[in-house]
């Protein structure tokens, strides 16, 4: 997956050459400054540029795309043109209820309603940009997926092509914002640094679109100690919480920062569905470096992840048999992408992964005999060789919380007041997910709130 990510970044860099070639500006001033060049930042920049105002977008990485470029599946949206064409229904109320229920009713209903109500128009806009989608299936009508190709790469390519149409939009890569500039309580720009110097870009407003904390395990642990030592397999390098840090310095309020979407089964940039270890009868187990089980594999994914992180080197091994490999596509995926080990006996498998053979054999035998001290109600059996082992490194997948904003995407301070001149969009923004995220809502919120933030920042 890291090779795929690298390739996608190279592709994105090629796509943005015209936008991101070294430029000199007569003045480092703009009407709107966008910080972050992922999906939300690009959408905000496009929307602000549509108004005719001068826009500068800065991105600390050498290429645009952020985590959007590795979005592999699709977008969640309701009552769209594709639902109408397919005859498969997923209504706004379905969308709203699914989002609120998944959040454990902790999401901000007003923000979720905006997300849902604007989803159809967001999808229509993507079609105008050349991103063609389809309803995934009747079983999953909320998913809109590409007709062909990689979803995230298509999004970034479409956004960059649209951004390049605006001569009043300047994009500066390799340029990191380090501090917001404030005058009499109003955000009027940011200090930035590139490979040559540190300087200030003055603006009438700033949009933070810097993404989440996915590549900052220390910061994740600060907000939720259960995820101390979380791995960073499932992210791009730029997601280090810069926007949160800068906004806190101007007294911004945060919401839901204890909530993260983590994947217990992850390696080489991919995650594998937990059914590998939780399905009745045909599923495997988790062991630590000492060769013993340490948790109920059928517990909530975040619970399993936190238990793995307590083990030696913050990792575990998924152990399963041929039946699991033949039954679950994700088991095959895990073995292949996770570069797993395969052996005819448990003792041989133990040797391949550096675990004591007698201990692992005793662990598997006890499990097969139904001996369990972790209150697992559904026990399988590991019976049919060959046997497989895949190392798993639990990884953060999404930052649920972030900056508190209102319906105009204005950032709110700790006193409940708007911070003049400061807006937010994308994963840096909180309020949409509470304790759980509907997959696909993330790239939707990049578009919906990217547009809202860009437009309002330009007024």
Alpha-carbon distance values, 368 to 90, 285, 331, 372 (Å) = 43, 11, 19, 10
pLDDT at 22 over 60: no
Question: What's the rounded Cα separation, in Å, for the pair 257 and 430?
Answer: 8
Residues of the chain with pLDDT > 90: what percent? 90
User: Which of 373, 398, 413, 423 lies closest to 215 in space, CA to CA?
Assistant: 398
Question: What's the rounded Cα separation, in Å, for the pair 441 and 432?
Answer: 9
Give 265-393's CATH code, choosing from 3.90.700.10, 1.10.3720.10, 2.70.70.10, 1.20.210.10: 3.90.700.10
Mean pLDDT of the chain: 93
Residue range 38-59, pLDDT digits in tens: 999 999 999 999 999 999 999 9
Element (H, E) at 146: strand 143-146
DSSP symbol at 303? H
The burial class, CB within 10 Å (0-12 / 13-18 / 19+), for 300 is exposed
Question: What's the rounded Cα separation, in Å, for the pair 170 and 355?
Answer: 55
Question: What's the rounded Cα separation, in Å, for the pair 68 and 70?
Answer: 5
Question: What's the rounded Cα separation, in Å, for the pair 353 and 176?
Answer: 42
pLDDT at 223 over 60: yes
Residue-level pLDDT at 233: 85
Range in 161-170, 194-203, 264-273 with the lowest mean pLDDT? 264-273
Q: Indicate the SS3 state at residue 429.
A: strand
Domain 2-216+241-259+397-457 -> CATH class: alpha beta
* Token pair of 114 as six digits: 């905006």
Tell me the HSE value of 370 on the side-chain side, using a 13 A CA sphere.
2
Residue-level pLDDT at 5: 45
Q: Which residues lie closer than 8 Å to 459 by C-beta, 6 or more apart?
A: 51
Question: What's the rounded Cα separation, in Å, for the pair 171 and 21?
Answer: 9
Residue-level pLDDT at 354: 97
Element (H, E) at 158: helix 151-163
User: Which of 86, 84, 29 lies closest to 54 in space, CA to CA?
Assistant: 29
Q: Indicate the SS3 state at residue 113.
A: helix
Instruction: Categorise residue 104: left if φ over 0, alpha if ψ from -120 to 50, beta otherwise.
Output: left
Q: Is the dihedral of CA 240, 244, 246, 248 positive or negative?
A: negative
pLDDT at 405 over 70: yes
pLDDT at 67 over 50: yes
Q: How far apart are the first and last CA of the chain?
A: 41
pLDDT at 314 over 50: yes
Number of H helices, E strands in the chain: 17, 21
pLDDT at 79 over 50: yes
| β strands within 36-87, DSSP E | 55-58, 75-76
Where do you find CATH 3.90.700.10 in the chain?
265-393
Residue-level pLDDT at 268: 83
pLDDT at 189 over 50: yes
Alpha-carbon distance values, 323 to 33, 328, 381 (Å) = 55, 9, 10
> Per-residue b/e over 325-352, b at no fewer than 16 CB within 10 Å?
bebbebbbbbbebbebbbbeebeebbee
Question: What's the rounded Cα separation, in Å, for the pair 248 and 241?
Answer: 11
* pLDDT confidence bin for 72, thresholds 50/70/90: confident
pLDDT at 456 over 90: yes
Q: Which residues lie closer than 8 Å to 245 by C-beta, 6 or more apart?
A: none
* pLDDT confidence bin for 404, thresholds 50/70/90: very high
Residue-level pLDDT at 379: 83
Residues of the chain with pLDDT > 70: what percent? 94
Q: Indicate the SS3 state at residue 446.
A: helix
* pLDDT confidence bin for 14, thresholds 50/70/90: very low
Residue range 356-397, pLDDT digits in tens: 999 999 999 999 999 999 989 888 899 999 999 999 999 999
Where do you find CATH 3.50.50.60 in the chain?
2-216+241-259+397-457
The pTM of the full predicted model, rounded to 2 decimals, is: 0.92
Q: Residues 184-194: what's their mean pLDDT?
A: 97
Better pLDDT: 16 or 212: 212
Residue entry with tokens 């500066």: 172
Going by their DSSP bridges, the two strands 254-255 and 402-403 should be labelled as antiparallel
């Amino acid at each position: 997956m890291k090779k795929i990510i690298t390739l996608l970044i190279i592709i994105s860099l090629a796509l943005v050459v015209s936008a991101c070639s070294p430029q000199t500006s007569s003045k480092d001033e703009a009407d709107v400054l966008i910080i972050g060049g992922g999906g939300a930042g690009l959408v905000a920049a496009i929307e602000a540029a549509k108004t005719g105002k001068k826009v500068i977008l800065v991105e600390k990485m050498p290429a645009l795309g952020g985590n959007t470029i590795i979005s592999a599946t699709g977008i969640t949206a309701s009552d769209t043109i594709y639902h109408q064409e397919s005859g498969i229904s997923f209504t706004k109320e379905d969308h709203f209820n699914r989002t609120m229920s998944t959040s454990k009713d902790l999401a901000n209903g007003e923000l979720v309603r905006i997300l849902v109500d604007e989803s159809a128009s967001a999808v229509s806009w993507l079609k105008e940009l050349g991103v063609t989608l389809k309803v995934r299936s009747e079983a999953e009508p909320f998913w809109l997926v590409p007709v062909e190709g990689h979803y995230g790469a298509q999004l970034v390519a479409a956004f960059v092509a649209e951004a390049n149409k605006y001569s009043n939009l300047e994009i500066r890569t390799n340029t990191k914002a380090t501090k917001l500039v404030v005058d009499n309580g109003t955000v009027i720009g940011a200090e930035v640094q590139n490979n040559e110097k540190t300087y200030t870009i003055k603006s009438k407003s700033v949009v933070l679109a810097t993404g989440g904390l996915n590549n900052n395990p220390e910061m994740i642990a600060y907000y939720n100690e259960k995820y101390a030592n979380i791995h960073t397999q499932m992210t791009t390098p730029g997601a280090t919480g810069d926007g949160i840090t800068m906004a806190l310095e101007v007294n911004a309020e945060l919401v839901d920062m204890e909530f993260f979407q983590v994947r217990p089964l992850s390696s080489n940039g991919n995650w594998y569905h937990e059914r590998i270890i939780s399905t009745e009868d045909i599923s495997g187990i988790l062991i630590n470096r000492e060769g013993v089980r340490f948790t109920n594999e059928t517990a909530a994914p975040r619970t399993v992840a936190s238990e793995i992180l307590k083990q030696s080197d913050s990792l575990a091994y998924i152990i399963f048999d041929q039946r699991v490999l033949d039954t679950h596509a994700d088991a095959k995926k895990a073995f292949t992408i996770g570069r797993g080990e395969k052996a005819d006996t448990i003792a041989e498998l133990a040797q391949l992964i550096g675990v004591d053979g007698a201990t692992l054999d005793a662990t598997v035998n006890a499990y097969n005999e139904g001996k369990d001290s972790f209150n697992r109600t559904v026990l399988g059996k590991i019976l049919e060789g060959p046997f497989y082992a895949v190392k798993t490194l639990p990884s953060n997948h999404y930052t649920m919380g972030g900056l508190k904003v209102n319906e105009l995407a204005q950032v709110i301070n700790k006193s409940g007041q708007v911070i003049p001149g400061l807006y937010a969009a994308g994963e840096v923004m909180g309020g949409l997910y509470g304790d759980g995220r509907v997959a696909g809502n993330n790239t939707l919120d990049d578009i919906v709130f990217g547009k809202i933030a860009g437009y309002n920042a330009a007024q």
